[in-house]
Amino acid sequence: MLHILNTLERDTTKKFVDFMNFGMENITNEYFLKVLYINNGDKINYNKTRLDFAEHNLEHNLRFEDKIFRFFEDIFKLNQGIMYVGNFNINKIDNMKILYMLRDLDYKDSIKFINILRSHIRDEDVYKINDFGVFKMFLSLCTREIHFTSFYFDKLDIMVFTHYDLSMLMFFKNEDDINTYVQLAKINDLILKDQESSIQNKPLIEVV
């Protein structure tokens, strides 16, 4: 039986959901820009690297999903258990796409997503994540090609832009850091191969 919440119940529910937090915080775009400004005050250009899988189909994506999760969980821990998710404005996602998200996410992730829908509807595009389970849910949206977000790890100065076929653009402030993440990927059973980019002659890292 469908129960329609009255005004008092809705207000109480919202306060409870806000208190629970669910592993992510609402932040303003201005706050996020300040975080970027602090880390980029010296205006150092980022070195661009690409994580690109050799095969390109969704079934292939799912085979690599757990390895991708482990790889980014290590990065999440190195960033002291906090990161930022961008390009995710719930108000701009239509109802049909939300249904697709709920359909394609695992059960536990779909519950997390419902909690987010209940507690984090607003006009901003950026969220501060303090729980890897929530970050993993956003990663799943990308690996399953449902919605593509961007990730920022402020302590490590790494920006990640996601795309189809597990193709991810990674920006590093220090090009010397690239080898660190090549080794980290190997630990997580990912094989990374350096190539020369035809765009800016930066290392292209391809997962094979």
What are 26-85's pLDDT values in tens digits? 666 666 556 555 444 444 445 555 554 444 466 667 788 999 999 999 999 999 999 999
CA distance 155 to 96: 36
User: 107-119 and 7-20 are packed helices; what angle lies between their axes, rounded to 10 degrees?
Assistant: 120
Per DSSP, the residues of 149-200 read: -EEEETTTTEEEEE-GGG-EEEEESSGGGHHHHHHHHHHTT--EEEEE-TTT
For 110, the token pair is 């779909």
Nearest to 129 by CA among 14, 32, 46, 40: 32
Rg (CA), the chain: 18
With 60 as the cut, is the pLDDT of residue 102 above it?
yes
With 50 as the cut, is the pLDDT of residue 3 above it?
no
pLDDT at 2 (0 to 100): 36
For 182, the token pair is 């090549």
DSSP 8-class letter at 23: T
Give the N- to C-terminal CA distance of the chain in Å, as an integer.
Answer: 51
Highest mean pLDDT among 38-42, 120-124, 164-168, 185-189: 185-189
With 90 as the cut, is the pLDDT of residue 150 above it?
yes
Mean pLDDT of the chain: 74
Of 107 and 8, the structure prediction assigns the larger pLDDT to: 107
- Binned at pLDDT 50, 70 and 90, residue 4 comes out as very low
Q: Which residues contact 36 (CB under 8 A, 6 or more apart)?
A: 152
- Reading phi first (left if > 0) and then psi (alpha if -120 to 50, else beta), residue 165 is in left
pTM of the model: 0.69
CA distance 149 to 93: 12
DSSP 8-class letter at 147: -
What percentage of the chain carries pLDDT values higher than 70? 61
Element (H, E) at 2: none
